[in-house]
Structure 1
Amino acid sequence: MTYSVTGSWNNGFQGNIVIRNVGDAWTSWNLTFSFANGQRVSQGWGGRFTQSGTQVTVANESWNGSVANGASVNPGFIGSHSGTNTNPTSFAVNGVACTGSPVTSNPTSAPPTSRPPTSAPPTSQPPTSQPPTSNPPTTGPPGQRVDNPYAGGRGYVNPEWKAKVEGVSGGSRISSNPTAVWIDRIAAIEGTAGSQSNGPMGVEDHLLEAVRQGASYIQFVIYNLPGRDCSALASNGELGPTEIDRYKTAYIDPISVYQNDARFRSVRIINIVEIDSLPNLITNVSGRPSAKPMCDTMKANGNYQAGIAYALQKLGAIPNVYNYIDAGHHGWLGWDDNFRPTAQLIADTVRLSGSVNNVHGFISNTANYGALVEPYITVNDTTRPSKWIDWNRYNDETSFVQAFRQEMVTQGMPSNIGMLIDTSRNGWGGAARPTGPVTTGTLDEQINGSKVDRRLHKGNWCNQSGAGIGERPRANPGPSGIDAYVWIKPPGESDGSSRLIDNPDGKGFDRMCDPTYTGNVLNGNNLSGALPDAPISGAFFPAQVTQLMQNAYPAL
């Protein structure tokens, strides 16, 4: 049993308790201890707190009563004192005296600016992992930005995703990897217990859990622009094209309150800002074969730029926040008429936020499947005419992000800007992975036989058959200019439903998620390549995560 004071101010303090079961499994637990100097508990979480005189009793919640041998629970509280805040020294659980000592350090910090979480707890016990075994980075104190927020520590493991993955055979092989938390509608800020795609934990809950885990960073996806994704069916948002004021006041502002809370200054908060937005204003407007009326609307009203600029400005003002803007992927922006115009639009939007320092970098391949490298294909004048490359200047994510980073520097971004690549589903391993180049047959036969990305077309984006887990999340993976490989799309979360499914989340049905769909101009009129029987976007898809693990590269 450990007791520590994690923050103190004037006559207030925040207490943290870790109870580790060293005996037989508990089906319920009841902790008692006494204060020596009249301290009072004003509010608590992770347990039901009551106090009579100096004695405090903490009973388990309905969701964390079962504790196996070797497992832990972690209640916490806000307290007050009028004199010396002496730590209690005697604790008992279920009437049995605890071993262990209180931690006597009492760091000073500002009081919390908001209450502990009030949303429903996770449906499974949060993970009981210990703090990192490596030392935290020394390149800056909490609240001061560092060059690479991923370096030197361990990322936050979402207990909701972890519990789902561990319910699938073999899931424990990947469940301890950090993944991003998607805030894809206003209700997700506080948590949505009845949702198929979001969990009961809200932003504050995740931040509190990150502190409890000792995580050095946590990742959020900011994803709720007006007219989101040009009203694409599977990923359409809740806000209409003109609801920019609601986006600011009901979405970004509440997120900023939680992210700016002094309780979370020790955690680097990484925001992935509005995927599938600005590139749409270049590639899917009038004059393009892929034009969508809503993309024309959003280009005309400027609300994508206004919303992103506001998010960058508001969140970028928080000292421990790092914003990374979506940069599409090589199979979307790798052509000359897409590449530089998108970079220019992004740079203009960043400047609209008031400072280029509101952005720490850019991310490619978010929730997509593009290969990290294509080891057996060289992009040149001989291979570019193939149907697979289709005159694109890039054929993998590594070469694309390095070129895009340099283009953003040319457009006025800082020279130390960093790039991220989402590698959660771009491994393409398994028995079908080629082991060398094919050098006979037509050009298309050679390319198709040599490529590791086994999609039928790079425009296929939904629940792709044959995909696998990619490189595990890690900082400074080697290629120049890349801050980290990351898992922004949690493996096993669906891209969209295979058929129309009624749901309270407002998620629609896109034929690109139907495995029988024969395609359109966006995918060269190929089959969609989607897995069957998929749930709505964001909902957990066990068959998909099973396939991803089978086809992982590097293998699990």
Structure 2
Amino acid sequence: MRIPLTRHRLAMAALVACLGAATTGAAVVATTGTAWASAPSTGRALTPGTRFYVNPDSEAAHQAVTDLLHRDFPGAAAMAKLATWPEATWFTQGTPAQVKDQVRTLVRHAAAQRAVPVLVAYDIPLRDCSQYSAGGAQSDADYQAWIAAFASGLGDGKAVVILEPDALANLPSDCGPTTDPTGAISAARIADIRYAIGVLEAHPGTSVYLDAGHSQWHAVGDMAARLIQAGVAQTQGFFLNVSNFEPTGQVDEYGTWVSECVWFATLGPDWAAGHTDWCASQYYSAAAPNDGAPGNSVSPSDPSTWHWTDAWYAQNAGTPPVAQLTHFVVDTSRNGQGHWAPAPGTYSGDPQVWCNPPGRGMGVRPTASTGVPLVDAYLYVKTIGESDGQCNRGIAGGTVDPEYGIVDPAAGAWWPAQAHTLAQNANPPLTVNPNLF
């Protein structure tokens, strides 16, 4: 049961005060205006001074109060710290009228904080290949009505929209050989994304980012081709690592290659036009000797070999004009300890390394001051403490997750133990947001 909001705010005020932060006990409010400057491409780029909206009624905030009432003081302190950091708000269902109202309310709350909200639109038909996060609109027409209403709720306020996680990295044609044998459903998916871009980008304060998976999934050229087809040139850029665990440095490097590949095939040399398939990737580079000797080919699991991919871009793309390169954002909510792999031989089937991996931790705090030229922001997109689904590590007929000895909560359900683990293992260590008050 949730603690009533007034009581929750008072308890949160006491907790944060005990952590050494000055507070008045009111809702979380920022103290300086949001910086928002023009980008060469769209005029909507985030500047280093941008601050993001903090939800005073978050799951972490409620968990802090619950822990306090149960006299779990270390847990309460950890959740209180987590509650001071901005996280994205997910919109996953509802009628057009409902989502419009919900988006408008969030934008209004963010404006009161003088902060920028990060919204996740997640209602595409055949979402998640009908697996753990199954759902979404029942038809393309329903989706387009829903996303048009979502966009209408934005108004002219500042906002970042993470448009449909996995929508491009997990096209219907990727779901299995019988899901989309003709490619018609995937074509409709692309059309839905392009429609969404149009209605969202009609709002001058909105920056839209498209799905580009992560560094251990699609090859660079494959992902670049999907982004181009979906209309990335009409957006602020793409997003990476949502709900995943790949290390920030590796994701940054992958994203830079994707951006360079998009440029290479669209604005680069005439001979490269349309050829994302020529781009080097985390799996292969023609610049490497590829002679079988150790270190002489690119390995996705060995970033020390990725210099061969860098070499290919240096040789074939040179130094593209910075203003022509696509920017991106990275989800660092759970990648502080990197990805997880069980000991060899632990599981005979798919160990589901993406699904509630044990021992993970929060990563780099949300910021638009990344120090990486093409990275607009590090964000907490996945809600920290929500389950990925009921994992069974590939054990046929199994329902219990052997890593935890329980049936995991359903996808999207709040899991206090997971939230505490991610906070405890945060890298860098979790602190109160110094820019909160």
TM-score of the superposed pair, with normalisation by structure 2: 0.69
Aligned equivalents of 1:221, 1:459: Cα separation in 2 = 24
Aligned equivalents of 1:158, 1:293: Cα separation in 2 = 42
* 8 A contact 2:169–2:223 mirrored in 1: yes
Flag structure 1 segments of 5+ consecutive residues without an equivalent. Answer: 1-61, 72-125, 192-200, 286-290, 374-395, 429-451, 499-512, 521-526
Which residues in structure 2 correspond to 1:103-502 (within 5 Å)?
Answer: 128-133=27-32, 135-137=33-35, 139=37, 146-149=43-46, 151-161=48-58, 162-167=60-65, 168=67, 169=75, 170-187=78-95, 190=98, 202-215=102-115, 217-231=116-130, 233-240=131-138, 243-249=139-145, 251-260=146-155, 265=156, 267-281=157-171, 284=174, 291-296=176-181, 299-300=184-185, 302-334=187-219, 339-350=220-231, 356=233, 358-373=234-249, 396-412=250-266, 415-428=324-337, 453-456=339-342, 460-496=353-389, 498=390
TM-score of the superposed pair, with normalisation by structure 1: 0.55
Aligned equivalents of 2:44, 2:212: Cα separation in 1 = 20
Change (3 A) 1:179 1:306: same
Aligned equivalents of 2:113, 2:264: Cα separation in 1 = 40
Higher helix share: 2
* 8 A contact 2:180–2:186 mirrored in 1: no
Deviation at 1:298, TM superposition (A): 5.9
Aligned equivalents of 2:200, 2:417: Cα separation in 1 = 37
Change (3 A) 1:145 1:464: same
Identity over aligned pairs, percent: 27
Deviation at 1:165, TM superposition (A): 4.4
Deviation at 1:400, TM superposition (A): 0.9
Higher strand share: 1
* 8 A contact 2:194–2:231 mirrored in 1: yes
Change (3 A) 1:70 1:222: closer
Query: Higher Cα Rg: structure 1 or 2?
Result: 1
Deviation at 1:212, TM superposition (A): 1.6
Deviation at 1:185, TM superposition (A): 1.4
Q: Give the SS at the match of 2:231.
A: helix
Q: What is the number of equivalent residue pairs in this alignment?
A: 340
Deviation at 1:69, TM superposition (A): 11
Q: Give the SS at the match of 2:85.
A: coil
Aligned equivalents of 1:551, 1:69: Cα separation in 2 = 25
Change (3 A) 1:282 1:184: closer
* 8 A contact 2:173–2:180 mirrored in 1: no
Change (3 A) 1:476 1:328: same
Deviation at 1:228, TM superposition (A): 1.6
Deviation at 1:348, TM superposition (A): 1.5
* 8 A contact 1:274–1:326 mirrored in 2: yes
Aligned equivalents of 2:412, 2:340: Cα separation in 1 = 23
* 8 A contact 1:281–1:298 mirrored in 2: no
Q: Give the SS at the match of 1:305.
A: helix
Which residues in structure 2 correspond to 1:70-89 (within 5 Å)?
Answer: none
Change (3 A) 1:422 1:148: same
* 8 A contact 2:28–2:56 mirrored in 1: no
Aligned equivalents of 2:182, 2:129: Cα separation in 1 = 8
Aligned equivalents of 2:395, 2:385: Cα separation in 1 = 24
Q: Give the SS at the match of 2:162.
A: strand
Deviation at 1:459, TM superposition (A): 5.4
Deviation at 1:340, TM superposition (A): 1.1
Change (3 A) 1:479 1:189: farther
Change (3 A) 1:519 1:330: farther
* 8 A contact 1:519–1:528 mirrored in 2: no
Change (3 A) 1:147 1:528: farther
Flag structure 2 segments of 5+ consecutive residues without an equivalent. Answer: 14-24, 68-74, 268-322, 343-349, 431-437
What whole-Å deviation, never above 9, does each CA across 1:183-238 have from its counterpart, x for those lacking one?
111259737xxxxxxxxx922221221122221x111111111112222x211114
Q: Give the SS at the match of 1:302.
A: helix
Q: Give the SS at the match of 1:474.
A: coil
Instruction: Tell me which of the two structures has the higher relative contact order, counting C-alpha pairs closer than 8 angstroms and 6 or more residues apart.
Output: 2
